[in-house]
Structure 1
Amino acid sequence: MINQFIEKIEESLEKNTFIKITLSNFTSNQEKSTLKKILIRKTIIKREEKLTFVYRHKTNDITKNYSVEEGMKEIITFLTKEDSNENNEGFFNQAILFTNQFDLHLKNINKNPTIHSQKPTQKQALSTSHDKQKKRAIQTKDQEGNSKNYLQALKITDHTGKVYKNAQDKYKQINQYIEILSVLLKQLPTEKELQITDMGAGKGYLTFALYDYLENNLKFKVKSVGVEFRNDLVELCNQIAEESDFENLSFVEGTIEEYKITQENIEEKTHVLIALHACDTATDDAIFKGIEADAELIVVAPCCHKQIRREMENAFKSDKSDKKSENELSPLTNYGVFLERQAEMLTDTMRCLLLNYCGYQTKAVEFISDAHTPKNVLLIATKKESFSDSTKKAEKLKEFEDLKSFFGIKTHYLESLILK
């Protein structure tokens, strides 16, 4: 019976009707064995046909790839109950061969082996790709199978929807950003049109992707505005938006500091404010715009934390000379890279405390880096009624003042906007 089963496996591999094999009901010769099952399928690795074995244990899976010849030897070993085989750790008492023509069941190997065939339960062969393709939030093609216009125009994909090699990191970054935001956006009320303002939109990579995701994936009513001070980028992005039929996406020329968010008309209130990689205090300007607009969600990815770094450096210097004063933090200034990192953490922590003071729950998450910004942190602030409590506001303000005092900070730029 076993020989007949082996022959059918070899025949299915030769005729390309093979789908997979399941070995189960393991009887072990070793007391501590945790092996429960083996799943076997074909894969193509470096253009060579392999048999991939997934050894399913009680608490984990182990995957190994064999040549077809090696794989057949491994199958025979695990269907052999004699202890004379030195490689035999035990045997499986049941096996099923799945082909696109029939399923073949081998049972009771231990006592009275039986074999029987039945109609195929699966006619579609499994994917032979070794690498599983991750399903991205932003797909490169639309529902008709055409490459998305804005991804082509932004040089992310070619006309077939294939991502350019040099744009892989940007494409991954866009998708991770959307995945992080999608959880937050799904919690917002959707009865009315969702107003989004993207401060410092640049070339609009993430502005376009977010609009596409909200309108076409989540089916939200959305109106999005990208604010950018470079006129050439504003004109380019508006052209791409028009060519992509994104009717409620537009870009306007302006700086973050000077841009006015409409508040008079409640229907046009900004619900979500975004600012990615706004340099130094421009991030604070963007945060303050979100607070002014009473936005439900503020998301920023800060960079270039220069203002607080200068404050820290000055705090470590004596008023009488350039000699650095003695205190617990003075060693930080001996190593520029450590001072830079400390300044980043301090700047963003103080931003979070000020957002708490203004009624926002905050968290910081890391998202995928790219060639230009190797460290990317998103500060996410969500409007919460519980954070409007006067006692909690006082606590957060005290924590903020304590940090200022400890690090010798005179003024945080965001503080000067909020507490003016």
Structure 2
Amino acid sequence: MKEDNQLVQLQKELQPWLTAGTLYQAILSSPKIKGEQSANKIVMRPVQLKEGLFYQFESYYNNKVLHQNIPAAEAAETLLPLIQDQYKQTLIKEKSTHLHILTNKKGLLSIKRKRNEEQIPEQIIQQHNRQKRRVLEEGTPITFLVELGIMTSDGRVHAKKQDKFRQINRFLEMVEDVLDYLPTDRTLKIVDFGCGKSYLTFALYHYLSVEQQRNIEIIGLDLKSDVIQLCNDLAQKLDYKSLSFLVGDIADYEGLSQVDMVVTLHACDTATDAAIGKAVNWGASVIMSVPCCQHELFPQVSNEIFTPLFSQGLLKERFASLATDGIRGQLLESIGYRVQMLEFIDPEHTPKNLLIRAVRPDVLSFNEQKWDQYQQFKQFLAVEHSLEKILKSHLPS
């Protein structure tokens, strides 16, 4: 009965710690049953979400890590069965106490308590509570993510969709940073060129319309009619009344006279330049572009100094891609936009991870210095670029 009392006592201790957030880590190791279905280790820690205090259970398998967020009031119900039935060893770290727990085959507990001598400062515990907030949090079902197959109906992100979930959040974080540049006195008009399956388009609509309560109109444009039909069907199912998708080419699109934000994700080669040109001519406040397949400069770049680079096709290709994006940024800065080159997602997933983010100040003023630098750069490499031609009305003749 002594061991049964240990479990009862543990339950009494855990609940106030969990509710207060003073339990800042629990590590469960040595699974009783080893195999692909059992995590080698589980680490639990507090996280502060929009809905309140949760505990994140981070499960480590041989080739993956899964996360589950449980409300603080329910965390003990999840933790205790794991301690009693599935793991032989548990270390619980609370602000003032450490518990070392051994569980035998019958599920009976042996607990050693000792004073926490780590002297964890208050701010460290708060850091756990302020773990990096994602714009879209796991743990609460988000309808469009469920429909797109990224999230389950109970709010868990599918293991194979974790990368896509991070990509969507990264994109929305970048949007969040430039909200102040978007007008608030009228309906926002946004165009997503080359929207494809439109993960980011739906995310943008959800974030701005549902969470930010902005009045918006978003148009997604792509050449694939079957994909556009699927996107329109989903928008209708979600009741996203101000989101529509059209079949069309970026360069030929003339459906609007003013747009506040232009998004392009992997618009191929000079299609990126066509989209940027449209954005500038519309007076877009925000441009967010992830370039792709940049071939225009590859046959042009020429300079004997760079022979060690240009004699190797792979190196020349990479240089030409970087030079292309450098030119795009320089031209946008020349006409007065403020430009940042950002890492979109982890480069281990794709080398096409650079995002050009440009914002328009209230008054555009031509930057002579940036223009001179651009002229010197293109002469040095003996190149001509499509974006300069597209923006000719904004540049010196």
TM (norm. structure 1) is 0.66
Report whether the alignment pairs 1:16 with 2:11: yes
How far does residue 186 in structure 1 lie from its aligned partner after superposition? 3.9
Q: 1:358 to 1:40 in 2, by over 3 A?
A: closer
- Report matched runs for 1:306-345 at 5 Å: 306-312=295-301, 315-316=302-303, 327-345=304-322
Report whether the alignment pairs 1:262 with 2:256: yes
Q: Which of 370, 386, 392 is the matching residue for 1:413?
A: 386
Q: Does the 8 Å CA contact 1:19/1:42 hold for their aligned counterparts?
A: no
Measured against aligned partners, the alpha-carbon deviations of 1:44-97 in whole angstroms (never above 9, x if no partner) come to 4534352244899xxxxxxxx98437x97783695xxxxxxxxxxxx98xxxxx
Secondary structure of the structure 2 residue equivalent to 1:307: coil
Counterpart in the other structure of 2:292: 303
* CA distance in 2 between partners of 1:251 and 1:164 (Å): 27
CA radius of gyration, larger in: 1
Q: Which of 366, 376, 382 is the matching residue for 1:402?
A: 376
Measured against aligned partners, the alpha-carbon deviations of 1:209-252 in whole angstroms (never above 9, x if no partner) come to 00001111111111101011111111110000000010000001
* CA distance in 2 between partners of 1:347 and 1:241 (Å): 35
* CA distance in 2 between partners of 1:158 and 1:274 (Å): 28
Q: 1:140 to 1:245 in 2, by over 3 A?
A: farther
* CA distance in 2 between partners of 1:348 and 1:367 (Å): 14
* CA distance in 2 between partners of 1:385 and 1:192 (Å): 16
Q: Which of 265, 274, 280 is the matching residue for 2:269?
A: 280
Report whether the alignment pairs 1:352 with 2:352: no
How far does residue 260 in structure 1 lie from its aligned partner after superposition? 1.1
Aligned partner of 1:138: which letter? L
Q: Does the 8 Å CA contact 2:181/2:359 hold for their aligned counterparts?
A: no
How far does residue 261 in structure 1 lie from its aligned partner after superposition? 4.4
Q: Does the 8 Å CA contact 2:288/2:358 hold for their aligned counterparts?
A: yes
Report whether the alignment pairs 1:389 with 2:378: no
How far does residue 365 in structure 1 lie from its aligned partner after superposition? 0.7
Secondary structure of the structure 2 residue equivalent to 1:341: helix
* CA distance in 2 between partners of 1:415 and 1:185 (Å): 28
Percent sequence identity over matched residues? 31
Aligned residues: 317
Secondary structure of the structure 2 residue equivalent to 1:18: helix
* CA distance in 2 between partners of 1:399 and 1:292 (Å): 23
Aligned partner of 2:149: which letter? K
Measured against aligned partners, the alpha-carbon deviations of 1:112-165 in whole angstroms (never above 9, x if no partner) come to xxxxxxxxxxxxxx9xxx999865323468xxx6551x3233222344443222
Report whether the alignment pairs 1:152 with 2:129: no
Gaps in structure 1 of 5+ consecutive residues: 1-9, 23-37, 57-64, 79-90, 93-125, 264-268, 317-326
Q: Does the 8 Å CA contact 1:229/1:253 hold for their aligned counterparts?
A: yes
Counterpart in the other structure of 1:368: 345
Q: Which of 191, 199, 205 is the matching residue for 1:211?
A: 205
Q: 1:231 to 1:340 in 2, by over 3 A?
A: same
Q: Does the 8 Å CA contact 1:195/1:222 hold for their aligned counterparts?
A: yes
Q: 1:133 to 1:174 in 2, by over 3 A?
A: same
Secondary structure of the structure 2 residue equivalent to 1:340: helix
Aligned partner of 2:201: which letter? T
Gaps in structure 2 of 5+ consecutive residues: 30-40, 42-85, 103-109, 120-124
Q: CA RMSD in A?
A: 3.6
TM (norm. structure 2) is 0.70
